[in-house]
Structure 1
Amino acid sequence: MISVQEAHRIIRASIAMSGAEELALEKLPGRVLSCDMTAPFPLPRFTNAAMDGFAVKFDDIRNAAAESPVTLRVMDRVKAGHASALAL
C-alpha cells in the first residue's frame, strides 16, 4: 500500500492542465471556471425574500459545534415576496 502523499504525487503527475476555452452554456456541465466570475450588478436586484429560510452572519456561527452550540436571536420575520426593514 502507498501513502496518501505518494498517491497525490502520482495523481498530480498523471493529470495535464488544460488551457481555458470559451464554450456555450449548454456545454458547461462537469466543467470548472478558469477564473473568478462576478456579476456587473448586485444579484438579486431587489431586496425581498424569494423563499422562506434563515439568514445568519458567519461570525455568529463561526465557532458553533455539536459540543459548543450557539444561540441565535430572531431579528425579523420576513415572508416570501416581502422585504425586511433590517440589514444584517
Structure 2
Amino acid sequence: MSTTVTPAPAPATHRRTPRRPASDRGVSAVSHLVLALWAVLVLFPLLWTVYTSFKTSNEILTDPFGLPASPQWNNYSRAWNAANIGSTSSTP
C-alpha cells in the first residue's frame, strides 16, 4: 500500500494597490463634500414640501418650518378635487 502525499497549496499573494497621492485624496474629499452639500440642497426643499403638505393653512403661515401638529390627510383629496384631476370634462 503506497501513500500519496499532496503538497500544501501555495499561500495566496495579495497585491497591494499603490496609495493615491495626497492631492488626489484631497480632491476626492472635496468632491464628496460638494456632493453632500448638493444632496442637502436638493433634498431639503423636497422633504419640506412633503411635510408641509400635511399642515393646515394656518400652520403654514405661522410656523413654515415646524412639523405639523396633526397630519391633515384630507389636504390631498382637497387638492385633487380643486384641480379637477380625474374629471372627464376638459374645461377647468
In which range does the TM-score fall when normalised by the shorter chain? under 0.3
Instruction: State the TM-score, normalized to the length of structure 2.
Output: 0.20
Whichever structure has more helix as a proportion of its residues is 2
Instruction: State the TM-score, normalized to the length of structure 1.
Output: 0.21
Larger Rg: 2
